[in-house]
Structure 1
């Protein structure tokens, strides 16, 4: 993979954001994933990036759904160059990184690329090199992964220091969320996973769902010698007609209807991540 570090060179000074000093060398990688498709994972990735950008952070969203990418659709972008072009040497990394409407950077993947549906040694090597190149350049790198527990998804998740799992109150979504947590706990030895409940019908739904999942995890996953898995509720995104309208218009919710309940909820989630994840990361 050919890359060029000139136009996105690493700054030499630290960045202060909301009282948090973020050093360029400490880029935070957060993977946003889901057990079931269609629960709003990419919607959250894009709007969360916009919310973090508004807080002064330098954010990159990397489309890690290498075979069925749709981040470009959500952002109404028509990329001429994608990750595929970077991996094949047709362009440099800097040429493939573009600005999204929310002010953050995106690195888009091509859709329908069969060669990226399996985790071959070549895909693994290219992706490792890519993440290593972009992390020092940004305060936050969001990996918008595919849904489920395929080897490609699990590999992308293994590159993240934090996993943000998106689920809805539907039983199928919760069942798949539990399965994803179980795999991450057993295969990657993850002991903390953060949960966002999308399409919450009532205030408090997310906390109740988190507690239900935690009870099942305590019973069937981990246990013994401090190996329990802790599920942290980060926030709920309420059912909001503005979300569907923004998606249909291919606009960011935070741009289309910034004052609607769902947009305010995404902003609160961003604030909690800054307070609990980024501040703790910088302190370390």
Structure 2
């Protein structure tokens, strides 16, 4: 697979900022973060689209309680147009959903790569932010989706297995994609400051064992913690957005702060892509 990190998609300031939300391990709240971050960014006036880039095991529709008749699969096969597949989600943002259980998308064929690339190219001019909700791990499909993004947000929890898998994923991003930095969000933290301490510890391990081809280790940028909060489980079980139903709970406030940081440090440089709505 050719590295397209310097493609017009990844580096363009003429369209959306493309941000991949990924993780080393499943079950850490990656899709929860993607959906609620989108709602928080939309509340800040950004035109946001979340693309379910977990092509084989999509579940964004479940989190948002949507029942799409048209999915990314239909766009890939020519059965529907891109406009027909884009739907509005609760929270004021748009989504492009993928079908679940599509075995043909579990590996990166030239056809899947070209179709996915064309879809992203078509979306970039239309939004301020594209959030790619990728699968977990380091499969070819996941890494390809991440390679399309100008920025990467790695979601992890304090659990040792999550951090071990996050380290593995970041190592691949450094060595294969030559990433200079990734941003870290630590979900389900118990105490304030836990996420920053965890990120610092992970950085120390990376400094010892991983370089990105420049002789320097990849830099981790801690952008926020999301505290353990019973409101999150309640929202997930009800298939509701936390930002819509309980915007004042601790986890929702943390997501709002995450959106503010990303808006001011990552998205604002792409301000020339278009005015806020």
The answer, yes or no, to whether TM exceeds 0.5 is yes
Corresponding residue for residue 5 of structure 2: none
Task: State the 1:282 CA deviation.
Answer: 4.0
Work out whether 1:262 is the aligned partner of 2:251.
yes
Q: Distance in 2 between matches of 1:223 and 1:25?
A: 28
Aligned length: 262
Once the 2 structures are TM-superposed, how far is the Cα of residue 278 of structure 1 from its aligned partner? 1.3
SS in 2 for 1:26: coil
Partner of 1:105: 94
2:27 pairs with 12, 26, 38, which one? Answer: 38
What is residue 6 of structure 2 aligned with on the other side? none
Residues 79 and 221 (structure 1), Cα distance of their counterparts in 2 relative to 1, 3 Å cut: same
Kindly tell me: are residues 107 and 223 of structure 1, through their superposed partners in 2, closer, same or farther at Cα, counting changes over 3 Å? closer
Match of 1:196 among 163, 185, 193: 185
Residues 92 and 197 of structure 1, relative CA distance in 2, 3 Å threshold: same
- Where does structure 1 differ by over 3 angstroms across 4 or more consecutive aligned residues? 223-226, 280-284
Q: CA deviation at 1:26?
A: 2.6
Are residues 1:134 and 2:123 paired? yes
Aligned partner of residue 39 in structure 1, secondary structure: coil
Match of 1:186 among 156, 166, 175: 175
Match of 2:159 in 1: 170
1:86 is displaced (CA, Å) by 0.4
Structure 1 position 27, deviation (Å): 1.0
Change (3 A) 1:93 1:214: same
Is the contact between residue 182 and residue 221 of structure 1 (CA under 8 Å) also seen in structure 2? yes
Cα 1:68–1:275 change in 2 (3 A) is: same
CA-to-aligned-CA distance 1:101-150 (integer Å, 9 cap, x gap):
11100000000000000100000000000000001100000000000000
Gaps in structure 2 of 5+ consecutive residues: 1-11
Instruction: Tell me, yes or no, if the aligned pair for 2:178 and 2:212 is still in contact at 8 Å.
Output: no
* TM-score where L is the length of structure 1: 0.90
Q: 1:24 to 1:244 in 2, by over 3 A?
A: same
**1:198 to 1:59, Cα distance in 2 relative to 1, 3 A:** same
Partner of 1:68: 57
Q: Tell me the CA shift for residue 255 of structure 1.
A: 1.0
CA shift for structure 1 position 262? 0.1
Give the TM-score, by structure 2 length: 0.92
1:199-210 equivalences under 5 Å are 199-210=188-199
**TM-superposed deviation, 1:227:** 2.8
Cα deviation, residue 275, structure 1: 1.0
1:247 aligns with 2:274: no
- What does the per-residue CA deviation read over 1:172-228, in whole Å, with 9 as the maximum and x for residues that have no partner? 000000000000000000011000000000000000000000000100001785532
Which of 202, 211, 219 is equivalent to 1:222? 211
Instruction: Give the secondary structure class of the aligned counterpart of 1:25.
Output: coil
Gaps spanning 5+ residues in structure 1: where?
1-22
**Cα deviation, residue 25, structure 1:** 2.5
Q: Is the Cα–Cα contact under 8 Å of residues 24 and 139 in structure 1 kept in the other structure?
A: no
Aligned Cα root-mean-square deviation (Å):
1.5
